[in-house]
Structure 1
Amino acid sequence: MAAETEYDTERLRALVARARVVLWDFDGPICGLFAQHSSQRIAEGFVEWLDTLGLSHLLTEEERKDEDPQAVLRAVDSRHYGSDLVAEMEKRLTQEELKAAPGAMPTPWADPLIRTWTAVGSRLAVTTNNSPEVVRGYLESRGLLSCFTPHIYGRTRDLGLLKPDPHCLNRALNALGAAPSDALMIGDTPSDLAAALEAEVPFLGYARNEKKEKHLRQAGAEDVVRSLEPLLRVLRG
């Protein structure tokens, strides 16, 4: 076990050493956005709303059961790209995220890790499928906004550019003038991994539980941590 821990620490040290820029996903690595405001209920609300509009045919039975509101939103967008319906759904999702933000639960060790990474000279950006307005509000409430400003790249009205598309990662890299090899992406979903691979950015998976880790590793993630604390130790060391 000691050898494995030493090996993992060395891998983390190598990832950190070359990371001049750190690209953070938001919901997961930085906080649990829906800790007190169920994302599953939001997804169910979308399905019920579409039913009342007589648009239940826009979703398959599998999509109707999806617990991720972004997945429901993207399913509708795939059939009515850029429509007023999709714009209204995206607006509703942003409103729900804003409601969730005050009850968001900070990810353990995220706040000191962000501050430490900033203090040692790395530049940070948020690359997320959540609303940038929500991200800014949360970071400001934690006293972390200055660590990222102005590099917050979130959901736009063009939902086809959400991860796994690397659009937000490429925007961040271009704005920061950074090469992909000088960056590190921290994410908690296979779509984060896919975006990082497409952008050729090294990836570190954060998994808050065994299920999350299994999904990341099945998607091909080689480096996954169950806590951000080892990263903080490496930085402080």
Structure 2
Amino acid sequence: MTSDTKQTGPVATETENLHAVIRRARFVLFDFDGPICRLFAGHSAEGVAKDLVRWLERQGLRGLLTEEERVHPDPMVVLYAVNRRHPRSDLVVELEERLTQQELQAVPSAWPTEFADPLIRTWSAVGARLAVATNNSPRTAARYLDSRGLADCFMPNVYGRTQDLDHLKPHPHCLNRAMNALGAAPRSTLMIGDAPSDYLAAEEAGVPFLGYARNGDKEKLLRDAGAEHVVASLEPVLRILRNQV
């Protein structure tokens, strides 16, 4: 056996496994921010987090956050922190709505993930039923899909953040809602996500998982969480799907 054969063996096996995962999928659940687009590509997520912190400070609630939480670049960290201290409160409702408005403002400058649009259209065209299962606001995902002419591939099956933040991924709540609406069995469903929380939610729901990692750091996080199938681009997924037609 040559060294080339040794190198290509695992690659061939991984490709075969990817083929199998895609062939079995009759229902496909997409995470939104990552596999479909980069929502905050032109509207800084760090800026959104700072806005939420400033809003809390104007309410006289600076002390709700630790110093680390006040400077964290992820706005969801702020929302989670407030929910832990005041679960299901009016304060959480107001903060969540403020985050939703910032997400909606980010839609026009969001970057489509390469190959996502044709992949979605192709999967829909060959008869798969699609849904979005996201921790973003469903209003945000729906507006983006409409702006790209993709709404008919999904609607009305867009499931996202509600005011009950305990149901955000890694909780499988939005995946289960999507499958119930689609009439989907978990083993005939595929979840595509880019974060460990997506993988863990899929595991809990009994759904096969395909990780999308646009860089090495994201791939490591997914692999460390336990994800077996991870791609750096959606292009091979699209190619496999087109070859099946």
- The verdict on a shared fold, with TM-score over 0.5 as the criterion, is yes
Deviations 1:167-188 (A, max 9, x none): 0000011111111111000000
List alignment gaps of at least 5 residues for structure 1: none
Any idea what SS the aligned residue of 1:155 has?
coil
Select the residue among 167, 186, 193 that pairs with 2:192: 186
Q: Structure 1 residue 170 and structure 2 residue 176: aligned?
A: yes
Corresponding residue for 1:88? 94
Deviations 1:3-22 (A, max 9, x none): 33322221111101111100
Matched ranges for 1:88-237 at <5 A = 88-237=94-243
Deviations 1:39-67 (A, max 9, x none): 11111222222223221221223322322
Structure 2 length-normalised TM: 0.94
Larger Rg: 2
Matched AA of 2:160: G
Any idea what SS the aligned residue of 1:28 has?
coil
C-alpha separation in 2, matches of 1:4 and 1:41? 42
C-alpha separation in 2, matches of 1:33 and 1:7? 34
Matched AA of 1:219: A
Query: In the alignment, is the contact (CA less than 8 A) between 1:9 and 1:230 conserved in 2?
Result: no
C-alpha separation in 2, matches of 1:160 and 1:150? 23
- Which stretch shifts more, 155-164 or 1-10? 1-10
C-alpha separation in 2, matches of 1:94 and 1:40? 15
Structure 1 length-normalised TM: 0.97
Alignment identity in percent? 64
List alignment gaps of at least 5 residues for structure 2: 1-6
Deviations 1:145-204 (A, max 9, x none): 000011100111111111111000000111111111110000001111111111111111
C-alpha separation in 1, matches of 2:192 and 2:137? 18
Query: In the alignment, is the contact (CA less than 8 A) between 2:75 and 2:99 conserved in 1?
Result: yes
Corresponding residue for 2:3? none
Corresponding residue for 2:24? 18
Q: Structure 1 residue 38 and structure 2 residue 41: aligned?
A: no
C-alpha separation in 1, matches of 2:171 and 2:71? 24
C-alpha separation in 1, matches of 2:221 and 2:41? 20
C-alpha separation in 1, matches of 2:170 and 2:90? 24
Deviations 1:204-232 (A, max 9, x none): 11011111111111111111110000001
C-alpha separation in 1, matches of 2:65 and 2:57? 10
Corresponding residue for 1:52? 58
Deviation at 1:70, TM superposition (A): 1.3
Matched AA of 2:25: A
Query: In the alignment, is the contact (CA less than 8 A) between 1:9 and 1:234 conserved in 2?
Result: no
